[in-house]
Amino acid sequence: MNFIDTEPGVYSMGSPGVEQMASGNPITIQSAAAPFTELLIFGKTSPDGTPSPENPVALDTAGSSGQVNVDVGGGNLFNLGSFTFTSGTSTTGYSLAPNNIIEFFKALANGDYCVSYTPKSDGTLGSSAGKIAFVGENNETLINTTNKFTMTDEVRNNLKRVVLFGYYPSKINTVDDFMVNAGSTALPWEPYVTPQNLVVSTPTGLPGVPTTGEEYTYIDADGTKRIADSVEYFSDGTGRYVQRTVLYNAKDLVWGPDFYGTEPNRIYRYSSLKHTELINRASGLSNRFVWKFSSAVSGNFSTEENKIRVVFEQPFDSTDALMQWFTENETLFLLQLATPIITPLSAEQIAAFKALTTYEPTTVVKNDAECWMQVGYYSGPAIQRLVIDAQKINRY
């Protein structure tokens, strides 16, 4: 057994705890101080509404800015340390937090959080000590809690004052050990740590399409299955970009009439040439058409027989007229590849991942693109700490 001297009177032994997996965004884990064993970042594409041939919608894809920023921090999100606030006079001991505390809460993303703090002064403990309230412009109470709260757009947009409750009456109140953590369970206080950052390059975005099939890349918090591109890092020094989707522009494809039925119920369907790289009948997204398993209604599309089939309300006079329409009306299809395309990541990208470490006791991993993630990490103490009073232990 080898003992490692870490600081005066504190020694360490052993090895990291059990390897675990967790997924989500953000991800809060009880972790050791150790390197990650893996990090997988999955794509997502969301139509901004319901498309039609006449009314296209945007296809919002994660990482379309060219990168996804991943932050790795500790459990305590509060980075402003101890602070002094304006004292109140009622028996509840209410006090107003300074403006920078208000801005801190406004900057939180939507979701569930827990807050705790230790009020200090020479006054008398108030009847509501330890509570926190968010107050709006007209003194309406937006949130009043001893612990858990949910940040929403409505709360953020209307928040004007943060009220803390501690001691009364007192000229000065200070707050120590202020703790805000993500999630619906309060964590024990821990100091704030400056987050580590990983910049994930996504030059063409990180797309993903919903699927109802048996095969899927991940299932999100809402239970939606997706086939998605991913950026994947592993502790063995490898990494890869896995492309599972492909984006087509209709004007670049070869089309022809594929009408079905007879008048007056004829279906004016047009099909592209067969694309053997696609999964037959697999779901997809379009900015002008709605995917269906079988396309038979105007405004629908499908991938039957590995062809892209679209249905219009009326026929075009010729194929040239159809192609002209596609040229003047950008029409996109995001579809599933039958065989993923794997591209290794660069040595620089892998080195940036390997530099990341989890924190003890808590690590929070999040990204700025609403990407679902999966992390591999070590739980429990990375090392078993022994506190020994002025006693030296020899390495052996």
Give the highest mean pLDDT range of 58-62, 294-298, 378-382. 58-62
Say what the pLDDT of residue 58 is. 97
Domain ends where: 182, 207, 225? Answer: 182
The band of 13, judged by pLDDT with boundaries at 50, 70 and 90, is very low
Does 390 reside within a domain?
A: no
Give yes or no for residue 48 having a pLDDT over 70: yes
Whether 30 and 124 share a structural domain: no
**Better-predicted residue by pLDDT, 39 or 102:** 39
One domain, residues 247 and 283: yes
Q: Which of 182, 201, 231 is the last residue of a domain?
A: 182
Q: Are 177 and 83 in contact (CB under 8 A)?
A: no
How far is residue 44 from each of residues 84, 205, 244, measured CA to CA in Å? Answer: 43, 9, 12
The total number of structural domains in the chain stands at 2
- Residues 207, 247, single domain; the answer is yes
CA atoms within 13 A on the CB side of 12: 10
Indicate whether 353 and 264 sit together in one domain.
yes
CA distances from 206 to 60, 173, 350, 357 (A): 10, 48, 18, 24
Determine the Cα–Cα distance for residues 39 and 353; give it in Å rounded to an integer.
8
Looking at the fold, whether 289 and 371 belong to one and the same domain comes out as: yes
Residue numbers of the domain that contains 304:
18-74+193-380
Mean pLDDT of the chain: 84
Q: Is the confidence at residue 387, as pLDDT, over 70?
A: no
| Residue 10, in any domain of the structure | no
Bridging pattern class, strands 10-13 and 309-312: unpaired
- pLDDT bin (cut points 50, 70, 90) of residue 144 is confident
| Residues 104, 204: Cα–Cα separation, whole Å | 33
User: By mean pLDDT, which of 42-51, 77-86, 109-118, 250-259 is the weakest?
Assistant: 77-86
